[in-house]
Amino acid sequence: MKPVANLFRASNVVLALLCLMYFITYLDRVNVSTAAAGFSKDFGLNKTEIGLVFSGFAWPYLVLQIIGGWVSDRFGARRTLIACSIIWAGATALTGLAAGLTSLLVARVLLGLGEGATFPASTCAMSRWFAKDRRGFAQGLTHAGSRAGNTVAPMIVAAVMAVYGWRASFFVCAAISFGWVILWASVFTEYPRDHPRITQAELDAVAPPPATRPQVPWGPLARRMVPVTIVYFCYGWTLWLFLSWIPQYFLHSYDLDLKKSAFFASSVFLAGVVGDTLGGIVTDALYRRTGRLNAARSGMVVVCMFLTLLALVPLLFVHSLYVSLACLSAGFFFAEMTIGPMWAIPMDIAPAHSGTASGMMNTGSAAAAIISPVFSGFLIDRYGNWELPFTGSMVLMGVGIALAFWMRPGQKFATTNGGG
């Protein structure tokens, strides 16, 4: 009975809720990639316009990263995520009611507004609920949940579209989102000490709540996070290229039908689920073994980005369905192995401001989400080459490798006003 009791201890329940949230947020983000096969025909959209719909989410998402991180640090992850989830669930339902390009963009912008603070708020929650040597695992597992959302979204959306049309797929996703709000509001407490089922062992493993809330030293913290943010932009470029265009890539580059293209896209995203989970486990194991955060976080990012770059190279020389599947799956696997260490870094550097710091970092990915889908769509429209956008990923992975050495997570951020 003891293993079962440990499985359902309070911190694991919180982690499961966060994993479910990450799953749902990405289900709601990337459903549009598969549904594009339906609404693009209904509304007569070209590839550049479809890319604009994909990136519309990212504009408010970018703006809300730092603001949302600060709000979660100041007012707590519980209230922040309740408000966010109501907004993103409503936006998902509105997407199913769109009447054209403009209303699609409005719904996607509203979705970005709702989801903008979710990951910084989650990081704030994790910094309070998990010890340092479990943070990489927690980040890796929650992001594995997001990649599971990527994995099942093409199949779910394709199945619903085949019977009920593309609009119904958004209504299904919205209902799932509203269900999560109820669970989160019912179960989560801001600090472990306030949870009715918390154990003393769990309390002993985490830092006690601060007596006062330290003021955010905006300038010094922003400067400290610059290299981390740029490295995350380099990763984010590849992420959003994959999330936005992989379903369409298999559909059009190899002339597959919707169900087969959804299957191949899901296979690529499944590799990301494994990569996220393994990356979180490995980075914490390295830290426990060496005691060196620079090696466990930055060093791991360097290795995984290099392997991502190598995995994508054959795409430029061989046009084969199964070679593409292997290269894209391997590339996504290694790219996602960077997630555990990357999202642990803001908590390592500035634990007192983990929401704000992670929001600063995630502006890199949000900026990539604005540019990458549109630029990739333009390249496809202009040259008719579906492999060409991946050259940008390879170049930026090289840039990320060079800058990762400057992240220095082992150098803890500290200021005279309580910076960490």
The per-residue pLDDT of the chain, averaged, comes to 87
More confident residue, 206 or 410: 410
Please write the tens of the pLDDT for every residue from 274-333: 999 999 899 999 999 998 989 999 999 999 999 999 999 999 898 889 999 999 999 999
pLDDT at 7: 59
Q: Residue 21: pLDDT band by 50, 70, 90 thresholds? A: very high
Please write the tens of the pLDDT for every residue from 113-125: 899 888 889 988 8
pLDDT at 259: 78
pLDDT at 415: 56
Q: Would the pLDDT of 184 be above 70?
A: yes
Please write the tens of the pLDDT for every residue from 113-168: 899 888 889 988 888 888 877 888 888 889 888 888 878 887 888 888 888 888 99
Q: Residue 416: pLDDT band by 50, 70, 90 thresholds? A: very low
pLDDT at 92: 93
Q: Positive or negative CA dihedral for 378, 383, 385, 390?
A: negative
Q: Residue 205: pLDDT band by 50, 70, 90 thresholds? A: confident
Q: Residue 210: pLDDT band by 50, 70, 90 thresholds? A: low
Average pLDDT in the 250-267 region?
82
pLDDT at 6: 60
Q: Can you identify the CATH homologous superfamily of domain 2-193+216-404?
A: MFS general substrate transporter like domains (1.20.1250.20)
pLDDT at 371: 87
Q: Would the pLDDT of 334 be above 80?
A: yes
pLDDT at 250: 86
Average pLDDT in the 186-197 region?
87
Q: Residue 420: pLDDT band by 50, 70, 90 thresholds? A: very low
Three-class DSSP category at 115: helix
pLDDT at 418: 40
Q: Would the pLDDT of 70 be above 90?
A: no
Please write the tens of the pLDDT for every residue from 382-396: 888 888 888 989 999
More confident residue, 185 or 123: 185
pLDDT at 220: 92
Q: Residue 417: pLDDT band by 50, 70, 90 thresholds? A: very low
pLDDT at 213: 66
Q: Would the pLDDT of 4 be above 50?
A: no
Average pLDDT in the 172-182 region?
93
Q: Would the pLDDT of 180 be above 90?
A: yes
